[in-house]
A and B are shown apart, each in its own frame.
Chain A
Amino acid sequence: MTMGLHIDAVGVLALAALLAAVSLLGRASPALRHPRAVFGGIVLAMLLMLGWQLLAAGGLTAMLALSMMLLGAAATPWTAVRRPAAPRAGVLPGLTQVTTGLGLAIALLGLTGWFENDDSAYTWDLRLVAVLGVFIGIWTFAAGLVLWLRLNQTLPQTLPSARQKWVVLALLALSVVLGGLAVRYPATASVLLVVLALLALEMGALLALGLSMRRATRLLEWHLALIGAAIAMLGYVQSSLFLLALGGLMTAMAAQHVRGLRHRR
């Protein structure tokens, strides 16, 4: 419970700042003369929350977190693609990087949730969140990575085949069954979790390979919506209203974008 309290203590301020920033930046308001100041507000909200978290953690943990953050920021590639496959790829190269990183982080947090808790205090809802986190995270990671490699022309440009769709659907059905078994029978779940992770990897790669690049943005939109759902589930585990609200908001924004595209067709 203390985790959520730590996040939510400043989370309400950060959420208010984020809502205002997203609302201002999403609209072409002529009154908005300094969009970069709004951008600064988003960065400030993130820094405020991080500072609060590091203060609460204190000591060696704060040092470790800070080192990993510096390492992560330094390791971020500054050019999105070397040789873009599509000359006007727009936000696609950046989105593939974001979804790859987010997928890995969500999967690792899901795995931590699974291995950190003992069976006695581990209720079915926490197990379900951990399994879904691992599945969504690895699926998103694989899709983002394969699309990024295709954009870089490291992987060949492939076209979808008719059978591929059915294979992916079969893999999805199998994953649902295995996930259900892992939640229901936690004693045998470790093996099931490994198989589930492999299936998610295969499914993400297959979907991203068997897709024309024109539809790649739409696939990433769905993955962003799934990541939003995973963040909301993390909020449930960490008892954080901030993460719950943020996840719900992110899912709605990504879904809204998909709906907008469909209406324009």
Chain B
Amino acid sequence: MGAIAYTTRGLTKVYGDGHTAVHALRGVDLQVPEGEVVVLLGPSGSGKSTLLNILGGLDRPTEGTARFRDTELTGLNDRQLTRYRRDHIGFVFQFYNLMPSLTARENVELVTEIARDPLDPGAALDLVGLGARMDHFPAQLSGGEQQRVAIARAVAKQPDVLFCDEPTGALDSQTGRDVLAVLQRLNQSLGTTVMIVTHAASTAGMADRVIRFADGRITSDARNATKLDAAEIHW
């Protein structure tokens, strides 16, 4: 096992208080080594997205600690969290979140302009197989193509960790497989740690490790003996 990317201790997140309090996470302890593909599975409201948001620097825990390498995330202020996201993290969302006013290439450049050691935007788009359509606006791209631009945007800064929240949620199965294949290829070629949140259990086949969530707790944490190729996944 290589170096550890994330370590959490007793991670707890409560939304609201009193009678209306919702416990999204109830004391999660976890270690994620660098370079792994981790799939977080679980029904809606099980806490998997909350964990992802905290590890991604978008949200703060109510209790407990989360450490990225040597940095205590819970101790960072707003500005430092922004810096952390900017330098280390790539995000891919269910609804792509592209800037409609920028072309595919410009969406990628949005990130490469502020990154420390970025890929060439063209190369990033080549990586997701969109080199030929880089001057198109989001409105001119299909859903799968938009998601691939989002992935290219996320990886172009060569992040240490790639967080994907339901990356295939809005896609048909073939397009979804293509997107997962891209993620797998990135993990293999760049060594990027990839954490995928999904409730599509079949995605788990491509992971090094599958963590299941229910009611804010980890209910199982298993390693796959053999990883499937993304193309072999069915759902």
Q: Do A and B come from one complex?
A: no
Binding site for A on B (CB under 8 A): none
Binding site for B on A (CB under 8 A): none
